[in-house]
Amino acid sequence: MSSKVTATPKVSSQEKLYNRIGVLRAERNLSRQELADSLGVNYQTVGYMERGDYNPSLELAFRVSEFFGLPVEAIFSRTPFRPLSEQLYPSVKRE
């Protein structure tokens, strides 16, 4: 029987990590359960992380990074991410 980590959400506003897990999961058409199974955690843990209710351990953050094939800093941040549309298509200044 495999043991899966279940997170208990306990994040204060000062400790909050922002992440792109939900966007990355949606881009790959993965359910929370499928991602959770790949990471070896409970599906609720994925939901807590996506909502910012739970900060993953460093080890889990690296597993998420390896799963998506992206650097940790592309997935997690201590400040809110700018929307990808703004990063890819900066608005043109109008005179």
Whole-number Å distance between alpha carbons of 60 and 88: 28
Q: What is the pLDDT of residue 79?
A: 93
CB 63 within 8 A of CB 45: no
Nearest to 40 by CA among 69, 7, 9: 7
Sign, CA torsion 42/14/64/25: positive
Task: Please write the tens of the pLDDT for every residue from 41-55.
Answer: 999 999 999 999 999
The pTM assigned to this predicted structure is 0.77
The pLDDT score that the predictor gives to residue 15 is 79
